[in-house]
Structure 1
Amino acid sequence: MKTTGTRRSLAWLPVVWCLSRLVLLLFVLKVYVFPGPDVTSDVQVIYQGWYDVLSTGTFPLNDVTWQYPPAAALAILSPGLLPFLDYATAFYVLVCVTDLAVLALMTCAGRRPGRSLRGAWVWVIGVPLLGPTVYARYDVMVTAVAMAALLAGARHPRAMGALAAFGALLKVWPAMLLLAARRRSAWVSALVTGTVVTGVFALAMPGAFAFLTFQRDRGTEVESLGALVFHVARHFGWRGEVKLNYGSIEFLGPYVSEVSTGALFLTGAAFGWLVLWRLLARRFAEHTLADAAFVAVLMFTTTSRVISPQYMVWLVGLAAVCLYFPGSRMRLPVALVLVACFVTVLEFPFYFANVVASDGLGLTLLFLRNGLLVAAALIAARALWRATVPSVAPPASVPSQPTRAGETPVSP
C-alpha cells in the first residue's frame, strides 16, 4: 500500500507542478492580468535598471532600493545568460527553471528510505499560493540554495557551510541555517566561502557594502506586524501618511521610529531566545537542523520591520525540508504557514489598496496573516524546545533509613 501511495504521489507531483507553474507564467508574462498592482514592475523597471548599472562593473551606489548583499548581483545579472530573450522574460524563465530544480531535488531526496515526499508537496503547493509575485522576485533562487544547504547538512557539513554562506551573500537570511550546525567543518567552510566571495566582490566592484546603510534606514512597512499599530491608530486620528520609501510602502509620521525600534527589540529578543536554545539543547535528531532553521527564519520574518510577500517563499522552502524528515515536529506550524501564504496573496496584490487604506477588509487580512505567523512561530519554538532541551527533573528524595526502637534517625 505504501509503495502504491508513493507511486501515485510521484505521478501527481509533476502534473500539479506543471499546471500551477503554467498559470504563474501566464500571469507574469501578462497573458492574463492578475488583480491588484502590477507585481512585475520590479523586474521590468528596478531589476533591469540594476542590471544596466551592474553590467558596467559597479553596484547601484546611488539607489537606496539596492538593499542586498553583493552576491545578489549574480541573480540580477543572470538573465544575461539568455540573450535571445528580453530581460523580464529571461528572468521569469530562470526562476521557473530554479523552481523545477527544487522539485527534482525534493523528489529525489524524498524517495530515499526513511524520507518523505511531503516536503516536495509542500513546495509544489506552497509556491503558487503566493501568486505571481513569487516569480517576479529573485527569492526562489535564494531559497533553492538554502534548501540545498539543509539537505546536505547531515552528510556533507562542508557543502552545507559553503552553500549557507553563499546564500547569505545573496540575501542574508540563509546565515541562520547554521544555527544548529554541530560540526566545526560547517562553520569553517562557511567562513572561508564568505570571506572569499566577499573579497572577490569588494575588489572587483565598487560599492559592495552600500546595502548596509540602505537597509539600516528602512522604516515600518505597511504589511509588517508593527504596522498594525498605525493601521488601527489611523481610525483614531493618528496623523501620518503611507508613502513609497526605500523601495516599499511604509508608514511615515509620529511614533514610527519608536515602533520600528520596538520591532528591532523583538528581533533581538528572538535572537536571544535562539542563542539560549542553542546553549541548552542536548537532543539532536536528524531533522533538528531543518527544524531549527525553520524556527529561526520564522521568528525573524514575523518580527521584522518589513514582511514583503516574497519573504513567505523562504518559509515555504524551509517548511518543505522539515517535512522531508518524517520525524519533524513542525507539521502544525507548516500548515499555518501555508494558510498564511494564501492570505498573503489576498492582501497583496489582490486587496492591497484596502491594506494601504487601512479599511476593514485590509485590517482583517493583515491581522489574520500576521496572527497566523505569530501562532506558527510560538508553536514551532515550543515544539523545538521540548524536542531538544531536556527538562529539569526535581531532585529525587532519599528515603530515610529504618531505625530501631530508641534510636535517633540519621540524616543521609
Structure 2
Amino acid sequence: MKLRTLAASWAATRALMLWLLLQDGRAPLGTGGVAREVHELYARWYGVLAGGSFPAGDRLWQYPPGAGPVLLSPGLLPGLTYFEAFVVLTLATDLLVTAVLARAGTRAGRSLRGAGLWTAALPLLLHIPLARYDVQVTALAVLSLLALSRSTRACGAFAALGALVKVWPALALIGTPRGRTTKEAWTSAAVTAGALLLVLAALFRDPFDFLRQQSGRGVQIESLGGTVLSFAHHAGWPGTVGYRYGAMEFTGPYVPAVAAASLALTVAALATLLLWRLRARRWTPATPYDAALAAVLLFTVTSRVISPQYLVWLIGLAAVCLTSRHTTQRPVAALVTAAAAVSALAYPVLYDDVVACSWTGSLVMLVRNGLLVTAAGLSFHRLWTATVRPAAPAGTGPAHDAHLLPAETASAP
C-alpha cells in the first residue's frame, strides 16, 4: 500500500464514520445511542473536573486519574461544543496513530500493513471510536511500543501515561527484552506514573475514588461470562438484565459465581504471562509487539466487561505487530478484524436483541466472543512457540529462525 493510497483511504473512511455519527440512533444503526456517553456523561464529568475534583461518589466513574486530563482536553478548543471538540480531538489522535504507524512501516524491514490495518479495520466499529476516548488511550500504547527501538525511557513513559488513563497500556511493557532494556523502560514508567499521580493529586480532589466503584462491577452482557448467562436464559435461568455501573449487566442466581470465575481466569492469565516471561529465551524486533497483543487479548477475554470499544485497543496493537515483518501475529490480526466487524453488529445494530437475550443476540455474542477467545489462544500459542521452544538445530530448522536476535540487539536503536 502506498502512502498516497493510505491517506485517501483514511480520509474516505473517516468521512464515513463522521456521517454515521450524524445518523446515531437511527435505523439501521440500532437504538444504542453511541454518542450519548459523550453528550451526557463525559460533558458532566468535564464540569466536575473543571471545578478541581474527580467525580467522587459517582458509580459510573471507574477510571484512573489520568482520564481526567483527557476528558478536560476538549476545553482546549473554544468555539466548539464539548461534543464537537471531543470528536475533533479524537480524529486528530486517530490521524496521529495512522501517521506513526505509516512512518514505522517505511523503515527497513518494516511494513505498511500496520497502518493499512488501522485505517481499514477501525471503521468496522462504525462510529463508536469517535464517541469514546479509547483512540487516545490506544495512541499512547502504540507510541510506547514503537518508541522502544529508539528510546526505552520514552517507551516506559508513554506506557505509564496510558496506564494512568485506562490501566491496560501497562501491558505494553510485558514483552520488553530482558536486561538493561526492561530495567530502563520499567523504571521510566514508574517514575512517570509517580510524578503524574503527584501532580494530579495536588491539582484535583479525590483522585483515587474510582477504586471504590470498580469493585462493584458485575457481569456485562457482552462479556464471555455474559454469553454463558445469555444461553442459560434460554434454558430457563431466571436472571435479568439491568443498567448498572454504566453498562448493561446480568443480575440473578449464579451471577456472583460467574463474576468470580472471570476474576479467577484473569489471575490465571496473569500467571500464564509471567510464566512466559520467565521461560522466554529468544526475542525478535516484533516480540514486544506480539507479547503486548497476546497479553491484552488474554485480559480482555477473561474480563467481566468486554465493551465494543475494547476492540479499538486490539486493532491498534495488531496494527503495531503488522509493522514488523518478524511478527507471529498475522492470523491473530485477521481474527481481531473479524471480531470488530461482528462487534458492531452486537452494538449498536442488534443491541436490543443482545439485551433481550434473543437467539439472534446470543448467537452474535457467541460468534464475537468465540473469535476473541480463538484469537487469544492462537496469539499466546504463537508467541510461546516463537520465543520459548528451542530453536531447530542449525541447517535443519525453518529459514525464519535466522532472524532471531539477542534481547538487547532486538531493541537497540
TM normalised by structure 1 equals 0.92
Q: Give the structure 1 partner of residue 237 of structure 2.
A: 238
Match of 1:410 in 2: none
Shift of 1:11: 2.0
Residue number in structure 1 paired with 2:321: 322
Shift of 1:26: 1.8
- Cα pair distance change 1:243/1:32, threshold 3 Å: closer
Mapping 1:8-407, distance limit 5 Å: 9-30=2-23, 33=26, 35-36=29-30, 37-181=32-176, 182=178, 183=181, 184-391=183-390
Tell me how far 1:27 sits from its aligned partner: 2.3
Q: Contact 1:95–1:138 at 8 Å: present in 2 too?
A: yes
Question: C-alpha deviations, 1:343-378, integer Å up to 9, x for none?
Answer: 000110000111111111111110100000010111
Relative distance call for 1:21 and 1:340 in structure 2 (3 A) is: same
SS in 1 for 2:263: helix
1:89 Cα deviation after fit: 0.8
Counterparts of 1:11 and 1:392, CA distance in 2: 40
> Which residue type is aligned with residue 201 of structure 2?
A
Separation in structure 1 between the aligned mates of residue 226 and residue 130 of structure 2, nearest angstrom: 26
AA partner of residue 221 (structure 1): Q
Q: Which range moves more in the overlay, 309-318 or 195-204?
A: 195-204
Question: For the residues of structure 2 that align with 1:32 and 1:196, how far apart are their CA atoms?
Answer: 42
* 1:236 to partner: Cα distance: 2.1
Q: How far, CA to CA, are the matches of 1:31 and 1:323 in structure 2?
A: 32
Q: In structure 1, what residue type is equivalent to 2:321?
A: C
Q: Contact (CA 8 Å) 1:26, 1:32: kept in 2 or not?
A: no
Aligned to 1:177, the other structure's residue is in SS state helix
SS at match of 1:250: strand
Name the CA distance, whole Å, in 1 between partners of 2:62 and 2:247: 11
CA apart distance, 1:24: 1.0
Match of 1:403 in 2: none
Distance 1:83 1:246 in 2: 31
SS of 1:85 mapped into structure 2: coil
Task: After TM superposition, give the deviation of residue 28 of structure 1 in Å.
Answer: 2.0
1:29–1:89: 8 Å Cα contact kept in structure 2?
Answer: no
CA offsets 1:56-75 (integer angstroms, 9 cap, x no match): 00000021111111010111
In structure 2, relative to structure 1, the CA distance for the partners of 1:126 and 1:233 (3 Å cut) is same
Q: In the alignment, residue 349 of structure 2 is paired with which amino acid? A: F
Supply the distance in 1 between the matched residues of 2:44 and 2:296 (Cα, whole angstroms): 30
Q: Quick check: 2:24–2:33 contact (8 Å CA) kept in 1?
A: no
- Write out per-residue CA displacement over residues 277-329 of structure 1, whole angstroms, 9 at most, x where no aligned residue: 00000001110000000000011011100000000000000000000001100
User: How many residues of Structure 1 are paired with residues of Structure 2 in the alignment?
Assistant: 386
**Could you say if the C-alpha distance between residues 316 and 99 of structure 1 is closer, same or farther in structure 2, counting changes exceeding 3 Å?**
same
Q: Which has the higher contact order (CA 8 A, sep 6+)?
A: 2
CA distance in 2, matches of 1:24, 1:32: 14
Residue identity in the other structure for 2:269: A
Deviations 1:16-57 (A, max 9, x none): 111110111122244894611210000000000000100000
RMSD: 1.3
* SS of residue matched to 1:226: helix
Deviation at 1:235, TM superposition (A): 1.5
- The residue that corresponds to 1:405 in the other structure is none
SS of the residue corresponding to residue 207 of structure 2 reads coil
Contact 2:332 2:378 in 1 (8 A): yes
> Which has more radius of gyration?
1
Cα shift readout 1:131-162 (whole Å, capped 9, x = no counterpart): 11111000000001110000001221000001
Question: How far, CA to CA, are the matches of 2:110 and 2:192 in structure 1?
Answer: 30
Once residues 390 and 248 of structure 1 are traced to their aligned partners in structure 2, the CA distance between those partners, rounded to angstroms, is 42
Identity, in percent, stands at: 48
**Structure 2 residue runs without a partner (length 5+):** 393-413
SS of residue in 2 equivalent to 1:180 = coil
One-letter amino acid of the counterpart of residue 13, structure 2: S
Matched AA of 2:108: P
Instruction: Decide whether aligned partners of structure 1 residues 307 and 32 sit closer, same or farther in structure 2, where only a CA change above 3 A counts.
Output: closer
Deviations 1:100-145 (A, max 9, x none): 1111111111111111000001100111011111110000000011
